[in-house]
């Protein structure tokens, strides 16, 4: 039995999913979107285009990282200093503010004074090597792990002081935590929505729309435990969206998700950000982060090495080169002479 009929109908399902999600975003936007973001939310496509067209050129390059754009970037004078790259989000309100975050597990320091500032309407990527403290940071931000020091403000409210208000604004997709996977996909979405305090009618209609947008129709009545890894990721993401949060925190959202679904989900996230939502995602895939994220923070050994718009962080190289250089300064490679003198 083929589990994923989307494989044959790829072009259509993506198109359809995106259109449906447009409608969904519109609806979510009109119910709970705060006043300052409302002007950006308009039901028709043309308006979104307008917003993009009106943005500075630099943003176009960031948003649409096609071949041409990439060439254009590399054509920028090699010594482009960071300050000269304009930050199109400089005026947007700060949605997430993290300051002085510290978390220790026994003698190891997982997070060692992380500061972050994420402004509204963008996709913000946190990249770093394995064990850099990405998951720990995001767990603290979402109010799931208690920090030893530091503050997390979501929309100006401290997650650890006013959890109810701060958590309402957040949708989260944790990494490596289980779901209530003995529920069917549809039950899980309904459960998530009801726990968020929505009324039943809203939850039911949003569940339907999310199932369609994420192409889960065939799987909606099967237990989540029987889903493939990618499908589990998708249903978890849908559950994170159901209460129309202002801020989405996604930990490794594309782990083991197939290329088609990544494209679908990226489309959804992009439209969500264009409508005024904010996405913070962590990943260790440089290419993906470089092509998707508007701003980036590079994290290693529990600290933020650098952060800013993708263009400014990347500078004149690719993000991967820049990343390797940054990390390399931090962790000089061992010589391992013996590896070259092969034993006979």
Partner 1 sequence: MVALFLRLRLTQLAHALRRRPEQLFGLALLLGLGIALTGYVIESFFDPNVFPARDAAAAGVIVGSLVTLGFFVVPVVASSDDVADPRVFGPLGLEPLVVARGLALSALLSVPSVLLIVTAGAYFVAWSQHPGVGLVAFLAAVLIVVTGVLGARLMRSFAALVFSTRRLRELAGILGVFALLACLPFVLALVLGMREASIVERLGGAAAGLGASPLGQAWAAPTLAAEGDMGGAWLKLALAALFVAALWLLWHALVIVMLRSRVSADLSAEWGGRGLGWFDLLPRSEAGVIAARSLTYWARDGRYKLALAVIPVVSLIVVIPFLVVGVWWQNLALVPLPVACLFLGWLLHNDLAYDSSALWLHVASNVSGWADRVGRALPVLGLGVIVIAVLAPISVLLYGDWTVFPSMLGVCLALLLGGVGVSSVTSVRMPYAAVRPGGSPFAQPQSSGSAAGQAVSFFLIVLCALPALGLAALELAEGGNWGMLSLAAGAGVGLLVLVLGFAIGARTFSRQAPELLAFTLRN
Residue-wise DSSP of 234-252: HHHHHHHHTT--SEEEEES
Interface with partner 1 includes 145 (CB under 8 A)? yes
**336 is a site residue for partner 1 (CB under 8 A):** no
CA atoms within 13 A on the CB side of 24: 29
103 binds partner 1 (CB under 8 A): no
Q: Which of these segments, 32-40, 42-50, 185-193, 328-336, binds partner 1 (CB under 8 A)? A: 185-193
Question: Please, which of residues 228-247 interact with partner 1 by CB under 8 A?
Answer: 239
Closest approach of partner 1 to the CB of residue 195, in Å: 4
Contact between residue 105 and residue 129 where contact means Cβ atoms under 8 Å apart: no
Closest separation in Å from C-beta 139 to partner 1: 9
> How many whole angstroms from its chain centre is CA 32?
20
The strand pairing partners of 300, in sequence order, are 303
Which residues between 152 and 181 bind partner 1 (CB under 8 A)? 163-164, 167-168, 170, 172, 174, 176-181
DSSP per-residue codes, 254-313: TTT--HHHHHHHHHHHHHHHHTT-EEEEEES-HHHHHHH-SEEEEEETTEEEEEEEHHHH
- Stretch of residues binding partner 1 (CB under 8 A), selected from 47-55, 113-121, 140-148, 282-290: 140-148
Token pair recorded at residue 67: 């071949």
Q: Which x/- pattern, by CB under 8 A, does the window 274-303 give for partner 1?
A: ------------------------------
* List 128, 143, 155, 276, residue binding partner 1 (CB under 8 A): 143
Count of positions on this chain that bind partner 1 (CB under 8 A): 40
Residue of 73, 142, 232, 282 that binds partner 1 (CB under 8 A): 142
Q: What DSSP designation does 224 have?
A: G
Per CB under 8 A, 144 contacts partner 1: yes
How long a stretch of residues is the chain? 344
Can you tell me which residue has the tokens 């594309």? Answer: 254
108 binds partner 1 per the rule CB under 8 A: no
CB 317 within 8 A of CB 92: no
278-306: burial string, b at 16+ Cβ within 10 Å, e else: bbbbbbbbbebbbbbbbbbbbbbbbbbbe
Q: How far is the CB of 185 from partner 1 (least distance, A)?
A: 8
Question: Interface with partner 1 includes 104 (CB under 8 A)?
Answer: no
**Nearer of residues 199 and 335 to partner 1, judged by Cβ:** 199
Which residues partner with 278 through β-bridges? 247
Nearer CB in complex with partner 1: 172/311: 172
- Quick one: which of 68, 226, 287, 329 contacts partner 1 (CB under 8 A)? 226
Minimum distance from residue 240 beta carbon to partner 1 (Å): 9
Phi and psi (nearest 5°) for 176?
65, 20
Candidates 192, 232, 244, 261: give the one binding partner 1 (CB under 8 A).
192
Q: Which is nearer to partner 1, 249 or 286 (CB)?
A: 249
Comparing CB distances to partner 1, the nearer of 31 and 225 is 225
Provide the token pair at 198. 């929505």
Q: Are 155 and 166 in contact (CB under 8 A)?
A: yes
For residue 34 the two structure tokens come to 């705060």
CB 258 within 8 A of CB 98: no
Q: Which of 36, 57, 71, 221 binds partner 1 (CB under 8 A)?
A: 221
- Residue 31 Cβ vs partner 1, minimum distance, rounded to whole Å: 18
**Residues of the shown chain interacting with partner 1 in the complex, contacts defined by CB under 8 A:** 1, 3, 142-146, 163-164, 167-168, 170, 172, 174, 176-184, 186-187, 190-192, 194-197, 199-200, 221-223, 225-226, 239
């Amino acid at each position: 039995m083929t589990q994923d009929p989307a494989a044959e109908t790829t072009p259509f399902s993506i198109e359809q999913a995106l259109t449906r999600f447009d409608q969904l975003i519109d609806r979510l936007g009109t119910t709970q979107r705060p006043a300052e973001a409302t002007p950006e939310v308009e039901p028709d496509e043309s308006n979104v285009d307008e917003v993009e067209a009106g943005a500075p050129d630099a943003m176009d390059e960031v948003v649409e990282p096609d071949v041409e754009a990439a060439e254009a970037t590399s054509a920028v004078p090699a010594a482009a200093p960071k300050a000269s790259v304009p930050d199109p989000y400089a005026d947007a309100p700060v949605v997430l503010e993290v300051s002085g975050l510290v978390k220790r597990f026994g003698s190891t320091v997982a997070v060692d004074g992380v500061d972050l500032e994420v402004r509204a309407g963008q996709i913000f990527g946190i990249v770093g090597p394995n064990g850099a403290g990405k998951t720990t940071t995001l767990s603290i931000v979402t109010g799931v792990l208690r920090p030893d020091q530091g503050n997390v403000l979501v929309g100006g409210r401290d997650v650890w002081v006013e959890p109810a208000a701060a958590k309402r604004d957040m949708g989260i997709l944790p990494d490596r935590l289980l779901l209530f996977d003995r529920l069917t996909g549809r039950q899980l979405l309904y459960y998530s929505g009801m726990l968020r305090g929505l009324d039943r009618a809203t939850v039911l209609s949003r569940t339907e729309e999310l199932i369609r947008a994420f192409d889960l129709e065939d799987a909606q009545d099967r237990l989540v435990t029987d889903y493939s890894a990618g499908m589990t990721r998708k249903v978890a993401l849908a559950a994170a969206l159901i209460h129309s949060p202002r801020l989405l925190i996604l930990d490794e959202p594309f782990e083991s998700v197939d290329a088609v679904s990544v494209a679908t989900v990226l489309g959804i996230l992009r439209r969500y950000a264009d409508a005024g939502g904010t996405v913070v995602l962590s990943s260790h895939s440089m290419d993906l982060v470089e092509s998707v994220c508007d701003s980036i923070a590079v994290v290693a050994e529990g600290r933020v090495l650098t952060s800013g718009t993708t263009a400014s962080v990347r500078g004149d190289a690719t993000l991967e080169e820049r990343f390797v250089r940054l990390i390399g300064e931090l962790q000089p490679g061992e010589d391992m002479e013996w590896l070259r003198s092969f034993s006979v």
